[in-house]
A and B are shown apart, each in its own frame.
Chain A
């Protein structure tokens, strides 16, 4: 069960839009609409930002959106703000019978 692949870092200027990719296989990302995204600031616990590919929990800014195409899911942050600087992790349900979830490798978002 290998980790999903994310870019190590993505950066953008305030107000810009950025997209973080999360690539898996047909056994995880491509096989289910069960991708979630988590934001983690330094020294803090992860926070759910997107669930089931494209749904936003109550209280999460509509600047955050999710999508999926084939084996790759994406998180887009529009109108980038300084407070968005954090690490982001995708997570997918998988076909594994032993432990049916897998995280991505994580992406550091830097606001220039």
Chain B
């Protein structure tokens, strides 16, 4: 059974750097073709892709946020970390991580999500 869980601060102040951790079980990020993605959802709004990391350490970022995002993996700890710099109130959202099965183009399952509020 594959599970993922997001963790990190629930409140950050503007200009701070956000660090979120996705801890997973049931698969290895060293398995060929596997990927883990980060998606966010502002309150009442749509899902939005942020970043992806693949088994071979290939990384992809949302173009409009690329300068602020870094995604890394720690295969030994079964974790994927997303950092976002210079946080702004518009970054207030629920942040989800999700699993991409080997060589597929879909994502399942998802973590429960973590709400991050940006406020002074």
A102 on the interface (CB 8 Å rule)?
A: yes
Q: Does B49 contact A (CB under 8 A)?
A: yes
Interface set, chain A 36-95, CB cutoff 8 A to B: 36, 38, 40, 44-48, 51-52, 57, 89, 91, 93
Q: In the complex where A99-B52, A102-B49, A103-B47 touch, is A57 in contact with B108 (Cβ < 8 A)?
A: yes
Q: Interface size on B (CB < 8 Å)?
A: 25
Count of chain A residues near B, Cβ 8 A: 28
Q: Please, how many angstroms separate the alpha-carbon atoms of A38 and B106 in the complex?
A: 10
- Cross-chain pair count, CB within 8 angstroms: 72
CA distance A3 to B48 in the complex (A): 9
Q: Compute how far the CA of A93 lies from the CA of B39 in the bound complex, rounded to whole angstroms.
A: 15
Say how far B76's CB is from chain A's closest CB, in angstroms. Answer: 26
When C-beta atoms are compared, the residue in chain B nearest to A100 turns out to be: B60
Chain A residues within 8 Å of B, Cβ to Cβ? 1, 3, 32, 34, 36, 38, 40, 44-48, 51-52, 57, 89, 91, 93, 96, 98-106
Q: Mark B residues whose CB is within 8 Å of A.
A: 37, 39, 46-49, 51-52, 60-63, 66, 96, 98, 104-113
List 7 A–B pairs whose Cβ atoms lie within 8 Å, in order of A's numbering: A36-B105, A38-B47, A51-B105, A93-B105, A99-B49, A99-B52, A101-B37
Top 9 nearest A-B pairs (CB, nearest first) are: A48-B108, A34-B105, A51-B106, A45-B110, A36-B106, A106-B46, A93-B105, A103-B47, A99-B60
